[in-house]
Every structure is written in structure tokens, then in C-alpha cells.
A and B are shown apart, each in its own frame.
Chain A
């Protein structure tokens, strides 16, 4: 634990957290709203990094897990209508079950096939939602009966606490003994197995944890926005954005992807006046970062620290 406390990544994150805490006193409700969304995206990206950065498995379908969580929570709210936290918990649980059902067969595959399976899963879910339009709202989307709050500041606090707690848990996990084994399994599965570690078990567990947090954040996002639609939680474009955010922020750092997600959402908003050019500029910058700083922003900073 002492070593985790000495990690510069943690201190960078704490400084940013303090900054985030002070924001409600000096920025507009509009910016708080944008940041709120970005925090949920941050959790998506962190959960994805656990799989890519540590288990070394590229999950092209983070939105499969997010979508399962979001739609489960939304549908439950609109049908049985239990308290919001029950809906969110149910969303997380279903995402986890879906994740296991997907990962169990997929992890037996090698190389790019795991990624392809996760990609196909997204398309399947997307189609399922369109087919069962009577319950899911189909392509138009679904309004949910309840929302977290109508107050922008309250919503901001909820999202901030949420990302801080998720970040602490995921970061702690990544620095724990289990995180070490997971990293070894991802880097050299044969050697990890020769050291007595059940590689499949550890990767499956990582997938579960990633699914849990993705589902949780997906469900929270639904109750923040009051709607769930394919375009906001399932579409491949969203998946790509999460992946870019994680790589931009810094693979294998957990906290970096959160920072990457916040930057990406903010940049998208800031450049909105460019119209169509907006996505182009953001993508071009992301591409440049991936090409020239493959370690990502935080990864690059930390690497320099290690060398220095």
C-alpha cells in the first residue's frame, strides 16, 4: 500500500480531484453539465483499461456492457419501478452476467478473435434493441420515469463522487496483488501459468469487474440524462470514443483513461461551433497522440518520471 501512495499518478489524480471539487463555485451550470457526462465516460474508459491495459485483451465492445447496464436499469424503472439504486444495481448485475456469458467462450479464442467477438456482441445488442422496440423504444430511444436530480450542481456532485469512488476502487485493484497477477497473465500467459496462476480465471475476473463498472456507469448515465438510446450508450462510435479516450489518457494507468475521457468530452463540446469539423479535429488530435505518444498523456508523463 505504501508503494501505491508513492505513485505519482495518484498525486496527479488527487490534485485534479481537488480542482473538480472547487468547480461548482466558479463555473457555469452548462459546463458542470458537460463535465457530469464526461465523468461517466471516465468510468467507462477506466473499466476498459483494466481489460486492455492489464489483461491485454482488446474489448472492442465496451458499449455492449454499458448498454446492458443502461437498458436493464431503464426498462426495470419503467416497468416495476423500484427505487433508482435498485435499478442501477440490477443494471450492473446484468452487465456482469452478460459479460461472463460473452467472455467465457471468447477468452478461449486467441489474438484478434476475442476483439471481433466483442464487436459482434455490440451489433447483436443494438439489433435486439431495435427488434424489441415496444419495450426498449427501438431506434428512437427510451425515456425513463425517474432521474437522479433536476439540479445541475447535485448531478455534478453525484457524478464526481461516482468517478472518484470507481477510480479509487479500480486503481487500488490494479495496484493490488491480483492486479499484478493480471498484468503478468496479460503480458506472458505461458509464464504466468508456469508460475501457477490460472490465467483464464484471472482474465475472466477482470472481465467481470470491467463489466460491473461499465454497467454501473451506464445505468447512472441513463438516470442522469433521463433517456437511453442506441446512439448514446451502444453505438460503435461511442465504443470507439471510449477506446480513444483510454489510449489518449494512457494505457495501463487506470487514472489516465479517466483524464482522457474528460478531455475528449470537453474538447468535443468546446469545438462544437466548428460543426462537422468538430469530430474531425478531435479524431485528428487523438490520432496524433496515439502515433507520437503511444503511452498516452499520463503514461508519457509517468515514463519520463521513471527515466528521470
Chain B
């Protein structure tokens, strides 16, 4: 184990009070591929940033070929032999693909005004290798998404790094493209590089990795072969949850008449990436519908389309009325209120002020009764009423965000990933509040979650969103046996 090309030990990172990475360590040998997996908010991306020096670790060691680089600035770590393939990047738009690749090979010098001639030949070689030779003189904005990813790969290869970090290698790619990329990454193994693949689930990287390290809430939960990690009890619990009790009310969907929200064949494109493909779902009055899917599956995009925040193809009807063409503010006043995954609280305002903003349009009496109701639903909020929202813990912030959305008296509450980055004990409190909400009010809820344990107990019906498409829909009780396997 000591012969690792990349050796990470005791890595710690805190953001304020949040411990994002806790005592993470691993070794990658030359020619070895390690998968670092974990759900959203587990700290896996932070680990990657710590290795690359984009964030500075609070403690721990990062060694490349025996050299300690922890705490160095990014550009020196890059020169020590670590390369990274970003998921999203901003290439030089006015330069051609070839020039973008050549850029990666330039020396970090202020005096070398012209690139040396061997760079040109080498850049062509690399472009050929990753399959860009047909588009050498095109500009990045005119390229399809997969080619942009190829270009990022080419830039990383161009620096001939000993260690390659790849962030979500296959996100947004078609099956054929995934195969081509897998071959390229497998090529790193043959070249004796150490590779770290960062992804959400084991499934995506199984075929490629030698070992997998699974993270949850900043900590290591399992390590071993892909099969071992998938069989691991803790991993199964993190992704699938333990025994889930469901309380579906199928009679709600059996009612005749038109649904409250009716999404028909909606597609969304982000530039060239297909974020949502022909998605149809409906929500009836008083129903609690969960859309589960891993991060990047398209949940947030779906909600943004419903709320009129992104342009889409297809139809969305609200209470029988077509929503297309209405402004986001009109839709919100019409009764669809979104509680976004980023929470969007006003950090410098107090808890009470945040809630008051949500209740701007209410009369004084109405507002008071809303306050009483919400304070009873989330008992922690009255205790924190005068505190600035920024100083609340993650769980309290989430409750405030939900309370503020409820303050607007929505007919449909769209709840996007409320569990993001929250500890299990907080999830329980949040879960209780949602049960209470469902039991005591006739509110309609559309919940997006990657945490199945959290999403299923409340749901009347479940949709599974995967790679921009709905792949399963049905009763929450049937989820684990029918759709659970594809979820790890």
C-alpha cells in the first residue's frame, strides 16, 4: 500500500461549523482506478478540491509520488503531477479546439511569447487520441456536449499528469459516448497513471474501477471492490434506507376529474445537454408525490420548468390552465410555491423577517394565524425568531425555508431536496414535520429527493427520474423490490 502514486491521509475540512470531510485517507497505485462515491453533500467533491488545492485542508496529507503537496496553491499542485477533468468548464470560446488543447501545454512563463513547435504536433496527437481530429478548427460553442467533455479530457492528458481526477465522468453522456469515455479512462490505467473517479453511485463506475471508497456526511463508510461496496450494509442503508414504512393513499389518485398539476411530455435542453426528456407526471389535489432520482437526474430542472424558471418543450397545465408563457412570479402567485434545494434564505435577516417576507401579501390577521400554525409545526423556529438566518444550523435553515414557502399559502408546495447535507437526526425531525403537515392540512406536495428513506414514507405515489427520463412510477411500497436495485 505504501507504493501509491497518490497517497491521501487524515484529510479534514470544515466550512464554518460544518465538517465537510472527516479523516479521509486512501492510496492509489500507478495504473489503478479508485472510485470515490457518495450521495450529494457527502463531501466527495470537497475531497477532490482538497487534493487539487482548490480548497485548503484543515488537516491531513496529500502526497504525489512521495511529495507532500497539501496546502499548496492549485497551480503548483498541477505542476507536481495532478490533473483534473472538470465536469463543467469554460473553455476559451474565441479560440479553436486545437488552440484550447495547446493552451494546456504552455509553460507558465511570462516571457515565452510563442509556443514551441513540438506543441502543435503533440496537441494534434492528443486530439486524435480522444477523437477530436474532425473538429480541430471549430470553436467550442459550436461543439456538441460530448466533444466539449472530450476537449476537457484532452487538456488534462496534455499535461501528462501522474494522477488524474475525473469529476462525474459520464454525466450527460449517451450510452455510446459512455463507452468511448470508459475506454479513454481505461487507457490511463495502461499508461500507469493513478485515477480517481468521483461519482454519485457505484453503478456508473463499476465496470471501470479497481476499488471503491464510499463516503457519507464527510466520512468513509465502506471501501473495497465494487461488488463488496454495493453489498455493504451501511451503503445500502445510505442509498436505499432501512426498512421503510409507507403510508400511501391510493384513493387520492383514483378520484375522477383533472389533476391539479399535469405535466405532459416536457423536455429541457441546457445548451447541448439534455436535462429533461419527454417527462410526464401528474399531481392531484391533496396528494403527496415524490420524484426520486440521483443528483443530476433532472429533478431540479423539472421543478424549474413547472415554476416557469427555464424554457421547455411540451405542456404543463395547472388546474386546467396552460402555464406556458406565464411569468415565474405569476405562477408563484397562482399557488405553486417552490422551496429550492439551495434554500435561498435571506442570510442577514432574522428568522421572523424571513417568514414575514413570505407572508407579504397576507392580511395582518391571516399572517398571525399562519405564524401560529408554522411555529407549532416547527417548534425550533420561535426559539430562533430573532436570530439571523445565516447563523442557523443546516437543518434549522431547511425548516425555515419550508416554513417561509408555507407562509405563502401554496396550493402546491414544490420541495426540492430538503435533506441536502443534513445529518440523520435532523432528517427525523424534518420527516416528522412533513408527516404532521400531511396529516393535518389538505396541502398538495411535490417532493424531489435522492434520499429514498426520506422520500417514501410520506409519498402517495413515486416517480423515478434517471438520466433525464421517468423510468418507473408506482406505489412506494413496491419501490424497493422493483426500482431499488437500479439505484445503488
Contacts and interface: CB of A to CB of B under 8 A. Distances in A.
B interface: dominant SS: loop
Contacts of A252: 94
A1 B114 contact: yes
Contacts of A193: 53-54, 73-75, 78
A18 to B, nearest CB: 26
Contact of A194 (B78, B109, B111): B78
Nearest to B111: A178
Given A193-B78, A196-B78, 15 more contacts: A178-B113, A180-B92, A180-B95, A183-B95, A191-B90, A193-B54, A194-B83, A195-B78, A195-B155, A195-B159, A196-B159, A198-B108, A199-B75, A201-B110, A306-B139
Given A199-B75, A306-B139, A184 B92 contact: yes
Interface of A: 1, 172-173, 176-178, 180-181, 183-184, 187-188, 190-199, 201-202, 205, 252, 306
Contacts of A192: 75
Contact of B112 (A172, A178, A198): A178
Contacts of B104: 195
A71 B115 CA distance: 39
B49 to A, nearest CB: 9
B112 A177 contact: yes
B52 A194 contact: yes
Contacts of A184: 92, 103
A202 B110 contact: yes
13 contacts: A177-B112, A177-B115, A178-B109, A178-B110, A180-B106, A183-B92, A187-B92, A193-B73, A194-B84, A195-B75, A201-B108, A252-B94, A306-B94
B369 interface: no
Nearest to A195: B104
B113 A176 contact: yes
B159 A188 contact: no
Interface string B141-169: 00000000000000100010000000000
Given A193-B74, A193-B78, A194-B83, A177 B108 contact: no
B487 interface: no
Contacts of B112: 177-178
Contact of A190 (B74, B99, B159): B74
Given A196-B108, A199-B75, A190 B103 contact: no
A191 B111 CA distance: 21
A190 B54 CA distance: 7
A interface: dominant SS: helix
**Which 5 A-B residue pairs are closest in the complex by CB-CB distance?**
A193-B74, A196-B78, A176-B113, A188-B90, A193-B75
Contacts of A173: 113
Contacts of A195: 75, 78, 103-104, 155, 159
Contacts of A176: 113-114
A198 B113 contact: no
Contacts of B115: 177
Contacts of A197: 75, 106, 108
B432 interface: no
Contacts of B86: 191, 194
Contacts of A196: 75, 78-79, 108, 159
Contact of A177 (B54, B73, B114, B159): B114
Nearest to A198: B75
B447 to A, nearest CB: 33
Nearest to B109: A178
B89 interface: yes
Contacts of B108: 181, 196-198, 201
A262 B155 CA distance: 40
Interface string B42-82: 00000000001110000000000000000001110011000
B52 to A, nearest CB: 6
Contacts of B78: 193-196
Nearest to B78: A196
Contacts of B109: 178
Contacts of B53: 193
A95 to B, nearest CB: 19
A50 to B, nearest CB: 13
A181 B100 CA distance: 10
A205 B159 CA distance: 24
A199 B54 CA distance: 13
Contacts of B92: 180, 183-184, 187
B74 A180 contact: no
Contacts of A205: 110
A172 to B, nearest CB: 8
B242 to A, nearest CB: 39
B73 to A, nearest CB: 7
Interface in B273-315: none
B152 to A, nearest CB: 9
B79 A191 contact: no
B90 A187 contact: yes
A244 to B, nearest CB: 23
A199 B73 CA distance: 10
Nearest to B104: A195
A177 B109 CA distance: 9
Question: Which of B75, B89, B109, B113 lies at the interface centre, i.e. has the most chain A CB atoms within 10 A of its CB?
Answer: B75
B352 to A, nearest CB: 30
Nearest to A192: B75
Contacts of B111: 178
A196 B74 CA distance: 7
Contacts of B103: 180-181, 184, 195
Given A190-B74, A195-B78, A197-B75, A177 B94 contact: no
Nearest to A303: B94
A192 B100 CA distance: 11
A30 B73 CA distance: 56
A181 B74 CA distance: 15
A23 B75 CA distance: 50
Nearest to A307: B142
A183 B115 CA distance: 15
Nearest to B96: A3
Contacts of B159: 195-196
Nearest to B86: A191
Contacts of A194: 52, 54, 74-75, 78, 83-84, 86
B434 to A, nearest CB: 38
Contacts of A201: 108, 110
Question: Which of A177, A183, A187 lies at the interface centre, i.e. has the most chain B CB atoms within 10 A of its CB?
Answer: A177
Contact of B106 (A181, A188, A191, A198): A181
Interface in B86-137: 86, 89-90, 92, 94-95, 99, 102-104, 106, 108-115
